[in-house]
A and B are shown apart, each in its own frame.
Chain A
């Protein structure tokens, strides 16, 4: 499943001591709301990150996060465990976000979360800034804006795949299950999205 080490280090996903999802779901289905709170604690950072990277807007991500969990809570009695809770709630989040972004259209403003100060110590960031790449030439907040602008030029379906694969580190098979498409589709969407992003970022460098 590949939980985010950054979030875990901040104690946001301290899920080692939590009961497994199946037990939590069963308890929630029998009316134990505290069990659902634990599911929230376990998955809200990942779901938030997924929505945030697809919308590039903190307020929208906040509203959608609440709506996704409200929908999950309302429909949890219908959850039969054919897929994992993880896949199920991700599928709800992706579908709701895709619908939201399509309704929103082009009328939106980026409202980005702050970059964590730890980014400066991240090995990948150091590698990137040391190499002769466009990253070297821009400061951090500019880089954040450029990346997000490039992401927002992708279609929402491509953005979903890039978010889950590149940012959240999910496997192709897992993404395919969440989106309900063949793995080959996931791979081709990724390939196309990467090409697009490379072109957009190259254009930025030329400006």
Chain B
């Protein structure tokens, strides 16, 4: 015979009689206090991590040849950068010669922020700001700027004379 709903509920209520041993809740309260005290005394995780990091630094022994290797690497890097063999990037400066090149071969390919010149391109669609942030906006002087250096009545330079 199957248990009906009421019998099942009565049966489930018998589970109230499953009890932990006497004195359990008082003992567990003591355990709770002990854990709370431990938690208060325990330093935060960041502090533990920092202390471990510091102690690992002190215990870290650098091999003697590493100093020499580091100094040699520094010398090589300084030589390369100082001699101008390598520069992080070259900006295309809007000088008159550069402008002339752009005007005569007007294809600008977007390739890792550099300008490449080849083929024919419709200049009407050219938008310098979409091509590269390094396209220098000195393509033509401002309308209001006065030529600083004039030769035979024709402006030669817009730069200050002391830079010649």
Asked if A70 contacts B15 (CB within 8 A), the reply is no
Residues 1-19 of chain B: 1 if any A CB is under 8 Å from the residue's CB, otherwise 0? 1110101111111111111
Asked if B11 contacts A44 (CB within 8 A), the reply is no
Of A97-105, A119-127, A179-187, the one touching chain B? A119-127
B31 within 8 Å of A by Cβ? yes
- Give complex CA distance A135, B3 in Å: 9
Return chain B residues, CB-CB under 8 Å to A116. 17-19
Of B7, B16, B25, most A-chain CB atoms within 10 Å: B16
Asked if A119 contacts B20 (CB within 8 A), the reply is no
- Give complex CA distance A70, B36 in Å: 7
- Size of the B side of the interface (Cβ < 8 Å), in residues, is 28
- Size of the A side of the interface (Cβ < 8 Å), in residues, is 49
| Nearest CB in chain A: distance from B72 CB, A | 54
Q: Which applies to chain B's interface (DSSP): helix, strand, loop or mixed?
A: helix
Asked if A167 contacts B3 (CB within 8 A), the reply is no
Return chain B residues, CB-CB under 8 Å to A52. 18, 20
- Give complex CA distance A66, B11 in Å: 29
Return chain A residues, CB-CB under 8 Å to B28. 44, 62, 65-66
B residues at A contact (CB < 8 Å): 1-3, 5, 7-22, 25, 28-29, 31-32, 35-36, 39
A residues at B contact (CB < 8 Å): 4, 6, 10, 12, 37, 40-41, 44-45, 48-49, 52-53, 58, 62, 65-66, 69-70, 73, 112-116, 118-119, 122, 124-125, 127-128, 131-135, 143-144, 147, 162, 166-167, 169, 194, 197-198, 201-202
